[in-house]
Structure 1
Amino acid sequence: MRKKERHQLIKKMITEEKLATQKDIQDRLEVRNVFVTQTTLSRDLREIGLIKVKKNGMVYYVLANETEKIDLVEFLSHHLEGVARAEFTLVLHTKLGEAAVLANIVDENKDEAILGTVAGANTLLVICRDQHVAKLMEERLLDLMKDE
């Protein structure tokens, strides 16, 4: 199966089921006689733009463009490994490869408190409207991350 076809199949599976792990996705692919390594699957998920969300006590993958109706700060808190603030800019540390996907989600949410983002491989800069907004977001992110 070609990569493009495999991506389409993964997208279809994600929209039809609440799959929580890469192993769940890999198992569903194998049922359809599609065999991929964990490395290939991980790369596929990044390229497709799949992210994990936590809703109603469940954690599962969704397509990044299906996150418009979320609490942005709560959503980010589930994907961060660290948070720091410099004046009106938040520096968010993520797992390798997640920063760009998260930046797209932040940008698509069009929150008036956020002017924009800049992403590296595992670092996301969130430029806030002012220092007050950045401080409030930092405090809330840190509180939510403690609860994890």
Structure 2
Amino acid sequence: MKKLERQKIIRQLIQNNKIETQEELSQRLSEKGITTTQATLSRDIRELGIIKNRYDEGSFYAVFDYEGEPENTGVIRTAMSLMATMSAYAQSVRRAMFILVVHTGLGEADLVADAIDTSNRSEILGTIAGADTLLITCQDEASAANFEREIRDAIQPN
């Protein structure tokens, strides 16, 4: 199956169902006879501008619609601020000196890492993303403490 066809089906699944996790999305695709890797699914989610919205009944994927060209993934990515990305995907954050550990849903850590990497923040030296855990290396403890506070504010708004 071609990428555009798969992404069209992903978009329809997200728009028509309350899907909480990448695993659930993968299962729904499988039910339609579409097999994909976790990495491909993460890339599709990022390219389609799909975010996770939090509601009273839980967190569900939603398509971030931008009025304009359908294939404007660069515009979609920049339209979502770094802290909006944190709010959508980060579940917790902890700090060990100048390193932050952020936990996300399964398959979502790379989405957060990409948002951090493309933000070009000088105090962040780099990121390493696993399936649901992200390591953020900051230039010093003060930078890490400030960024940790920003992330906490994003995931637990007052």
TM-score tier (shorter):
0.5 to 0.7
Are 1:77 and 1:145, in contact at CA under 8 Å, matched by a contact in 2? yes
**Greater than 3 Å deviation, 4+ residue runs:** 7-11, 39-45, 62-65
Structure 2 spans left out of the alignment, 5+ residues? 19-25, 54-60, 65-71
Query: Number of residues paired by the alignment?
Result: 127
Q: Report what 2:14 is aligned to.
A: 22
Question: Which of 58, 63, 73 matches 1:61?
Answer: 63
Provide the rounded CA distance (Å) in 2 between the counterparts of 1:103 and 1:115. 12
Cα gap change, 1:9/1:74 in structure 2, threshold over 3 Å: closer, same or farther? closer
| Offset, 1:37 | 5.7
The answer on whether the counterparts of 1:88 and 1:129 sit within 8 Å (CA) in structure 2 is yes
**Distance of 1:122 and 1:112 partners within structure 2:** 25
* Cα deviations by residue, 1:30-86 (Å, 9 ceiling, x for unpaired): xxxxxx9614479664241333066xxxx8424864322443134213211111011
1:7 match: 6
What does residue 116 of structure 1 align with? 126
TM-score where L is the length of structure 2: 0.62
Percent of aligned pairs sharing the same letter: 29
Deviation at 1:96, TM superposition (A): 0.4
Question: Any idea what the Cα deviations from partners look like across 1:88-139, whole Å, max 9, x if unmatched?
Answer: 1110000000111221221122121211100101001111122111101111
Aligned to 1:46: 42
Aligned to 2:67: none
2:145 — aligned with what? 135
